[in-house]
Structure 1
Amino acid sequence: MDETLNDLADHISHAEPHAVQKWEITHGELTLYCVRDQIRSLIKFLRDDSQCRFETLVDICGVDFPQRRERFEIVYHMLSMRMNQRIRVKISTDAETAVPSIVEVFPVAEWFEREALDMYGVLFAGNTDMRRLLTDYGFEGHPLRKDFPLTGYVEVRYDELEKRVVYEPVKLVQEYRNFDFLSPWEGAQALIPGDEKAGEGAQ
C-alpha cells in the first residue's frame, strides 16, 4: 500500500511542483501540503488526472493552531472510487487572508466553505455566498476557534411574556477551569460505602 501511495505522491508532486510543498504518508493515507494560492489548481488536477481521479470531495474542514503565525489549517478530504484511494490536502492561512474557493471545481464546496467561515472565520475568495451556515444571524465569534469560550458569549431563550427570542449575556463566571480528565470513579473524593473494607483487606 505504501509503495502505491509513494508512486502516487511522486506523480502528483512532479506534475504540480508549483503547488505541492511536501507530502507524507500516515495511517495508510497520503497527505499533501499545498501552497495556499495554488489549491484550486491542485484540486482540479487531482480530480481530472487519469492516475488520480479523485472525483468525490468528501469534506473541507478547519483546524485551529493559535500558537502558529498562520493559525488555521484548511483540510480537503477527497475520494477516488475508481482507484479505491483517499487523499488529504492541507493548506494554512490566517484570519485575514482569504483562501481561493474551489466552488468552480466542486460546487458542493460552497457549503463546506461556508461552514469553515462560520466555525473558524476563514474567508474564501470566489465564493459568492459567504453567509453563516450553522449559527444564528446575529451570532458573534467563531465557535471552533480554540479561544472561543465553551459557554459562549450569550444565551438564547424564548421569553413567554415577551413572546420572542431573547439574547442575554452569559453570567457564568468561569475564568479558570481545571480538567483532570478522570472518570467519575477516579475523580471521586468521597468514599463509597463499603470501600473502607477494601482498604482494610489490603493491609
Structure 2
Amino acid sequence: MAVLHSAPRFTLIDGLRDVLGKALGAHLVEAHEEHGELLFTVKRDSIEDALRILRDDHGYQQLMEIAGVDYPSRPERFEVVYMLLSLTTNNRIMVKCSASEDTPVPTVTTLWPNAGWLEREVFDMYGVLFAGNTDLRRILTDYGFEGHPFRKDFPLTGYHELRYSEDEKRVVYEPVELAQDLRQFDFMSPWEGANYVLPGDEKADTPPVEEPKTTEKAGDTGAGKKTDEHAADKVSAGAPAEEDSGEDAPAPEPTEDQPARPEREGKTTDTAAATEPDPSDDDADAAKDAK
C-alpha cells in the first residue's frame, strides 16, 4: 500500500528566486540560479537578519554547512557560504556574503547552535572573523599553528613541521626543510603537445647557418693527390701479425694418451651370474650366528 506524504519528493525552483528575493528585500545584493541551485548574495552586516527571515518565514529550518572560499584578487577576498535545508518543502538554497581579513561577519549562533563549530572551522581554515561568537578558537589545526591552510597563498608544505624528538622526549616544531623542490607533474597528453618549451626545444628556433664553413685550399684538410696515392696502404703494414714466416706449422699432438680398450666379449645377458649371491657367504653368516 502506497503511503502519501504531505511534503513533495522534490521542489521545483521555478519562481522561487523571485519569491525569496522579494522577501529578503534590501538585504539582497544578487540572486541567480547555477547548476540547478539557487544562490543568494546578501550584505555582510545583514546576514543574520536574512537567514532569520528564511528560517522563520519560509521554512528553511536547518543550517547544514558553513563553507569558506578564497579569491585573493578581490578586495574582499573571502566568501562565507551558508547552506540551508527546508524539511517541509524538501529544498536547499545557498546564501553567501563577502568578507576580508579585518571585516568580521555577524555570527548566526543566535539562530542555530551548531553554527558555533562551523564558524570555528571557517575561522581556522581561512581566518574569517565572526563577531559575536563567544568561543572562536581553532578547531582542526594544532595549538600554536601559524597561518590558515585553506588560503590560496598558503604553501602546500606549510611553514612548520612536527616530529618526536628522542633527545627531548617530546613533540617539537621545526621549520620545513625540503630536500628537493616541489615537483610539478604534467598530465597533458603527449599527442596534444605541451604549451611550454621543453629542455632542448629552444634550439629548434635557431636559424641554420647561412654560409657553410669552407677551406681556402685542399691542403688544409689533408686531401690532395699525395694523400690519394697512399690511400690503399695498410696502416698495420710491418706489424708482427702481418709478417709471413713462409712455413706451415705442424698439427698439434693429441692431448689424450689412453690405449684403445678391447671390445667386450659376449653380451650383457651373460653377466647374470655375476649378480647372483655367493652360497658361501650364507654359510659364513650362519657360523657367526651360532657363535
TM-score by length of 2: 0.59
SS in 2 for 1:140: coil
CA contact under 8 A between 1:5 and 1:25: conserved in structure 2?
A: no
Distance 1:182 1:159, change over 3 A: farther
Distance 1:173 1:77, change over 3 A: farther
Q: Residue 88 of structure 1: CA displacement? A: 0.4
Bigger mean CA offset, 141-150 vs 6-15? 6-15
Q: 1:200 maps to what in 2? A: none
For residues 179 and 73 of structure 1, the distance between their equivalents in structure 2, rounded to whole angstroms, comes to 30
Instruction: Name the % identity.
Output: 54
Q: Residue 133 of structure 1: CA displacement? A: 0.6
1:75-86 alignment runs, 5 A limit: 75-86=81-92
Q: In the alignment, which of 117, 120, 143 is matched to residue 123 of structure 2?
A: 117
For residues 177 and 99 of structure 1, the distance between their equivalents in structure 2, rounded to whole angstroms, comes to 38
SS in 2 for 1:18: helix
Q: Residue 182 of structure 1: CA displacement? A: 4.9
User: 1:45-83 deviations in whole A, cap 9, x for unaligned?
Assistant: 11111xx21111110010000011110011011111110
Distance 1:56 1:164, change over 3 A: same
CA contact under 8 A between 1:99 and 1:123: conserved in structure 2?
A: yes
1:36-55 alignment runs, 5 A limit: 36-49=44-57, 52-55=58-61
Structure having the higher strand fraction is 1
Q: Residue 181 of structure 1: CA displacement? A: 3.8
Q: Residue 151 of structure 1: CA displacement? A: 0.3
User: 1:116-171 deviations in whole A, cap 9, x for unaligned?
Assistant: 11000000001011111100110000000000000000011111231111100001
**Unaligned ranges ≥5, structure 1:** 184-203
Letter paired with 1:151: T
User: 1:11-47 deviations in whole A, cap 9, x for unaligned?
Assistant: 2221221111111111211110111111000111111
Q: In the alignment, which of 115, 138, 147 is matched to residue 141 of structure 1?
A: 147
- Taking CA–CA contacts closer than 8 Å with sequence separation of 6 or more, which of the two structures ends up with the larger relative contact order? 1
Q: 1:32 maps to what in 2? A: 40
Q: 2:29 maps to what in 1? A: 21
Specify the structure having the higher radius of gyration (Cα).
2
1:1-16 alignment runs, 5 A limit: 4-16=12-24
**Unaligned ranges ≥5, structure 2:** 1-10, 190-291
Q: How many residues align?
A: 180
Q: CA RMSD in A?
A: 2.0
TM-score by length of 1: 0.83
For residues 91 and 47 of structure 2, the distance between their equivalents in structure 1, rounded to whole angstroms, comes to 20
> Is the aligned partner of 1:164 residue 2:170?
yes
Letter paired with 1:46: L
